[in-house]
Amino acid sequence: MVTKLFNIIILSLLVSCTSIEKKTENINAQAPIVKKTAIISFDQSNIKDNIGNKKFYQKELNFYNRGIGMLEIDSTSASCNCSSVKIIRGNVQPMSFGTLQLSVNAEGFYEQLNTIKFKIYCNAKNSPFELFLELEK
């Protein structure tokens, strides 16, 4: 009788442990995969400035990584050959900032108001990011 009771207790423990293991496996199988993505943002994406009679213009801009993954800037482009972007700090940890330097040779500007579009290509989910620089003479 004692042996029979002991066997029943052992058997019930084995069954309950097996069902706990199966539940744990199901939970792990359904866990979502979280992709660590970066999100690039600037304080302003439309910049207006007066350059007067200057022939050359430079401006440093900070950008922020508001995502949960590392932000890496791959390349940049400008809508005008008179402009360029220098990546000063382009690999940015989450919730940190990086720096770009915009440069424009305004010597060839004939218009009173000139708009240049810059594109920032990176691994952020909102890439390419566009910046507009409006320079007034």
Q: Which residue has the tokens 């594109």?
A: 119
| Chain mean pLDDT for the chain | 82
Tokens describing residue 117: 């579009």
Confidence band (pLDDT; 50, 70, 90) for 18? very low
Q: How many whole angstroms separate alpha carbon 36 and alpha carbon 70?
A: 8
pLDDT tens, position by position, 22-78: 444 554 455 455 567 999 999 888 999 999 888 999 999 999 999 999 999 999 999
pLDDT tens, position by position, 76-124: 999 989 999 999 998 999 999 999 999 999 887 878 889 999 999 999 9
pLDDT at 12: 57
pLDDT at 2: 52
Going from the C-alpha of 51 to that of each of 55, 77, 98, 135, the distances in angstroms are: 8, 22, 25, 6
pLDDT at 124: 94
